[in-house]
A and B are shown apart, each in its own frame.
Chain A
C-alpha cells in the first residue's frame, strides 16, 4: 500500500459528461501529480501541484482541469468527455517538489461509452 488513495476506482459514463477524480496524497507529501495511462500512449504526465500551486503542466487537454486544496488533496476534473478519454488515471505524490521518487495510487479507471 503506497498510502495514496484514489476514488472512485471505476467510473463508467457517457460522452459529453463531466467527472471528478479525487486523490489523497501520502501523509506529509506536498506534491501531487496526475498521469493518464492508456494502452497505446503509456503513462502520460498531465499536471503537478505543489502545496496548492500548479508547478508543471504536461499534455493536459483544455477540457481537463485540476486543483490541490489546502488539505493537500487534489481533484482532476474531466469535462465534455470523449471516447478517447477512456483510460486509467493515476495520482502520485512525493514529499518535495522536484523528485523522481513518486508514490502512486491504484488508479481510477474511466470508461466513456
Chain B
C-alpha cells in the first residue's frame, strides 16, 4: 500500500464548477500537508500549505485536513480554464511524499 493515495483522474469539469480533489494517507506521522499544481511541461509549484487539521482558504482555493480520517482535500471554487493542470498532494514527516497527482481539465 502506498503511503499517499490519490485518484489520477482525469477530472473534466465546466468553467465555474466547484472542484474537489482528495488524498488519503496511511502514515500518522505526517504533520505538514501541501497541494502543488503542475502545468504541462513545468515543475510543480506550491499552491497551499497547512500544518494542522481544519480548513485554510486562499482566494478560490480551500485546503482541508482531517487527521482523524487521514484525508485531505482541495476545493477550487469558480474553476477557470487556467486551473487546468495536475494537482499533487504532498505530505511531510522527514521527507516530502507526493501523491501521483490528479489531472484536472476545466473546459469553457
Instruction: List residues of A whose CB falls within 8 A of some B CB.
Output: 2, 4, 33, 35, 41-45, 48, 56, 58, 90, 92, 98-107
Q: How far is the CA of A56 from the CA of B97 in the complex (A)?
A: 12
Task: List which B23-79 residues lie within 8 A (CB) of chain A.
Answer: 32-34, 41-46, 49
User: A42 and B95: CB pair below 8 A?
Assistant: no
* Closest Cβ–Cβ distance, residue A82 to chain B (whole Å): 22
In the complex, which range does the number of interface residues on chain B fall in?
A: 20 to 34
Answer yes or no: B88 CB below 8 A from chain A CBs: yes
Contact B95 A58 (CB under 8 A): yes
Sampled A-B contacts (22; CB under 8 Å): A2-B43, A2-B45, A4-B43, A41-B100, A42-B99, A42-B101, A44-B98, A45-B97, A48-B95, A90-B43, A90-B44, A92-B43, A98-B94, A100-B32, A100-B33, A100-B90, A100-B91, A101-B34, A101-B46, A101-B49, A106-B41, A107-B43
* Contacts across chains A and B counted by CB atoms under 8 Å: 56
Q: How far is the CB of B5 from chain A (nearest CB, A)?
A: 11
Closest to A38 in B: B100
A107→B39 CA distance, assembly (Å): 12
B43 touches A100 (CB 8 A): no
**Complex interface: chain B residues within 8 A of A100 (CB):** 32-34, 46, 49, 90-92, 96
Cβ–Cβ < 8 Å partners of A104 in chain B: 43-45
Q: Which residues of B contact A90 (CB under 8 A)?
A: 43-44
Cβ–Cβ < 8 Å partners of B99 in chain A: 42
